[in-house]
Amino acid sequence: MQAASGRRAFSAAAASYDSAAALAREVGARMAARLDLVRLAPHRFADIGCATGDGVRELQRRYGRGRGAGLPIAIDYAHSMLAAVRRRAGRWERLIGRAPALVNGDARRLPLADGTLDLAWSNLMLHWLDDPLPAFRELNRVLATGGLLTFSALGPDTVKELRAAAADASASDTSRRFLDMHDLGDMLVAAGFADPVMDMETITLSYASPRGFLADQRHLGVRDALLGCQPWRDWRRVFDAWPRDGAGRIGATFEIVYGHAWKPAPRETADGRAIVRFHPR
């Protein structure tokens, strides 16, 4: 989220975030299942935009055990979210030095050295950036050669029911527009990644009323960032037009885009000279 108000709302949501993060947890579980198909044994790994730390704990469960395992890094711009990661780590993990390292930083200006990571994970964060390309370039910079980026993001069919209701109610559609997977894949290539793999699916959440949907977005700290702002009288018309099922419930669709890509070996030096590699037979 670019706007200062959006950042403040997200930072203030640390205490309520977990109560409404069912979608993030489900998407994180599906991201983790995709890692089962990847041959990777990272020593250095990070959760970028970690929120309260479900992702970094998954990475630690997979890769942070055993001899020589590296410590996971939890990165977020919200100090309150990092504090939640620390609390959830537990006293014993902190005492024995196995709690995630906490780093306050922006995905577009990561406070990490070049080639720091073997694996970068980001779950449902990059879509809040007006332009994800600078973040992809930063992620490429901090990954070592052969390192993997895996991420999820919201796609353009997210809350399509709300947009249809706005049209039916002749109200403004102020909901945020998200990039599709083809645009994100092109950005990965432009940022220097190789062999990007993109796919998508939709997940529909059911709510007893729009009030429940709004409460979830507020608890996540993203209500205004997702829905935009307009007069409450207009919102009421939109919510009245939101289709219900036979039980009177509303559905909210979230398009989930998944992507992963590798950092290839450089093709030229920093001063622009081509690198030629010879492979013995």
pLDDT tens for each residue of 133-173: 999 999 999 999 999 999 999 999 999 999 999 999 999 99
Report if residue 190 sits inside a domain.
Answer: yes
Taken in order 165, 27, 3, 15, the sign of the CA dihedral is positive
- CATH number for the domain harbouring residue 224: 3.40.50.150
**pTM reported for the whole predicted model:** 0.90
Report if residue 215 sits inside a domain.
Answer: yes
Beta-ladder partners of 149: 120, 261
Report if residue 271 sits inside a domain.
Answer: no
Distance CA(38)–CA(267), nearest Å, equals 24
Report if residue 158 sits inside a domain.
Answer: yes
Distance CA(270)–CA(250), nearest Å, equals 54
Decide if pLDDT at 242 tops 80: yes
Domain that residue 188 falls in: 4-262
Report if residue 97 sits inside a domain.
Answer: yes
Tokens of 73: 């890094």
Report if residue 61 sits inside a domain.
Answer: yes
Report if residue 175 sits inside a domain.
Answer: yes
Report if residue 279 sits inside a domain.
Answer: no
Number of domains in the chain: 1
pLDDT tens for each residue of 76-133: 999 999 999 999 887 777 776 678 999 999 999 999 999 999 999 999 999 999 999 9
CB of 182 within 8 A of CB of 199?
no
Higher-scoring residue by pLDDT: 97, 25: 25
